């Protein structure tokens, strides 16, 4: 961000800081929602996901997409 009066010392928080916090909050929300699933549903999803050769990229895509993607899969 450029201040209208010219460059100045950055404050304690930057846009990157806010983006990082937003990403962390989103990941924490998805994790909380996963933990609230019934154990049998969570276990089935983990087993299914781990049997895929591309489970890491699929997990990353699910986390990026948010909780809506977790409800429809499995």
Q: Which tokens belong to 54?
A: 């591309």
More confident residue, 7 or 18: 18
pLDDT category at 3 given cuts 50, 70, 90 is low
The DSSP secondary structure of 9-67, one letter per residue, reads ---S--HHHHHHHHHHHHHHHHHHHHHTS-HHHHHHHHHHHHHSTTHHHHHHHHHHH-H
pLDDT digits (tens, 9 = 90+) for 9-62: 666 788 888 888 888 888 888 888 888 888 888 888 777 767 777 877 877 787
Predicted TM-score (pTM) above 0.75:
no
Task: Kindly tell me if the per-residue pLDDT of 7 is higher than 70.
Answer: no
**How many whole angstroms separate alpha carbon 23 and alpha carbon 53?**
26
Q: Which two tokens stand for residue 41?
A: 């549903």
């Amino acid at each position: 961000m450029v201040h209208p009066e010219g460059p100045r010392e950055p404050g304690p928080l930057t846009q990157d800081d806010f983006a990082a916090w937003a990403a962390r909050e989103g990941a924490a929300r998805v994790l909380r929602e996963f933990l609230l699933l019934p154990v049998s549903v969570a276990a089935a999803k983990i087993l299914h996901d781990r049997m895929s050769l591309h489970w890491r990229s699929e997990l990353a895509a699910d986390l990026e997409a948010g909780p809506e993607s977790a409800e429809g899969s499995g």
